[in-house]
Amino acid sequence: MSNNHTPGAAITLVGCAKTFADGTRALEPLDLAIAPGETLVLLGPSGCGKTTTLRIIAGLESPDAGGKVLFDGADVTRLPIEKRNVGMVFQSYALFPNMSVVENVAYGLRVRGVAKAERLARAGEVLEMMRIDALADRRIDQLSGGQRQRVALARALAVRPRVILLDEPLTALDAALREHLRAEIDGLLRRLAITAIYVTHDQAEALALGDRIVVMRHGAIAQIGTPREIYFRPADDFVAGFVGVTNRLEGAVRGGRFETAAGALAVEAADRAAATLAFRPETAQLCVAAGSGLRFRVDQVHFQGARQRVLLSAADGSRIVLEAAAEVVLSAGDEVGIALDPSRIALV
């Protein structure tokens, strides 16, 4: 272990399902390939199977018969967590209360039999990297939430794991600190080029951190993609609804045109009797001039300083939300048109 960090492992899940003893199906058979050094975010509401997936990768749960977990191509399905060389960060941090900060960080090295001088030196390096070396001798109950989070991360990284697993690591913190630490974790994971799997129910965290996002629902994958793909081209209503605000217009496709109560729009799609057009509030351009494709009436305007949020309704009563530059003066009852960028809409 002379190099400063072990290169991240490639992780593959093959047909991993999980049925608990009481018969609850937590996970449908799942296939997943994670590239070395990639940060993969498992996103979804509680009970969607994201934590179970993480625990199967960690070795804290074993998949149902037939499921396989591979680290760099080697089958580790039967290997318990203590032999997998993974780093894990828990929502509750799970710091050992009977040990000081530096003892916590050095613990993984201690149980590996690393000599005291070397393990203290290495723990010191990690503490320095996390900029908490001043806290080394503190007791855990003397730390703030953000400091505990850093210690938990330092402890997981000190053993130079092949993969780091983070289970809702920021959920217990307040919003401002959460955003700050999110940026810090992002920088750290990229600098170390370690494979990371990050579980969260917070779409903002997922979009900011992930190289790829796996959106999960009812124990199955709803969509895998880059944050942009997930955000701008959600695979279905569930993904669209879970990741940010989405507008949807019901209509039909005829002759390369999407026809709806608000008007018609050129699209590249085969004819369909029933289709839904989905787009994000900030992807639509507001055009006050008449004659654009889709026509709406302004219901409400919420001025927000730099931007304004405009609530619109079409002739058939279907409603959409969009964001407009603050300079455009609008009032309830105005007739407006919207223009949509064809690359940033989804027809489902």
CA distance 81 to 244: 35
330-334 long-range CB contacts below 8 Å, 24 or more apart?
330/286, 330/298, 330/301, 331/298, 331/301, 332/298, 332/299, 332/300, 332/301, 333/297, 333/298, 334/288, 334/297, 334/298
Question: In whole angstroms, how large is the CA radius of gyration of the chain?
Answer: 25
Decide whether 111 or 183 has the Cβ nearer to another protein. 111
Closest distance between another protein and the C-beta of residue 316, in Å?
A: 52
Nearer of residues 143 and 249 to another protein, judged by Cβ: 143
CA proximity to 4, closest of 92, 125, 133, 165:
125
Least Å distance, CB 45 to another protein, is: 21
The residues that touch another protein, with contacts defined as CB under 8 A, are: 58, 60, 80-83, 85-88, 90-92, 94-99, 107-108, 111-112, 139-141, 155-156, 159, 165
Say how far apart CA 327 and CA 249 lie, in whole Å. Answer: 27
Single-letter amino acid, residue 37: G
Instruction: Look at residues 48, 46, 61, 82 and name the one whose alpha carbon lies nearest to residue 13.
Output: 61
CB of 90 to another protein, least distance (A): 4
Which lies closer to another protein via its Cβ, residue 84 or residue 280?
84
In the complex with another protein, the residue whose CB is nearer, 141 or 327, is: 141
Is the CB of 104 or the CB of 260 nearer to another protein? 104
We find the least distance from the C-beta atom of residue 162 to another protein, in angstroms, to be: 12
In whole angstroms, how close is the CB of 87 to another protein at the nearest point?
7
Q: Supply the angle between the helices 116-129 and 101-111 in degrees, to the nearest 10.
A: 130
Q: Are strands 86-89 and 163-167 parallel, antiparallel or unpaired?
A: parallel
Nearest CA among 18, 347, 68, 54 for reference residue 214 = 54
Q: Which is nearer to another protein, 81 or 220 (CB)?
A: 81
Total Cβ atoms within 10 A of residue 245: 14
Q: How far is the CB of 305 from another protein (least distance, A)?
A: 42
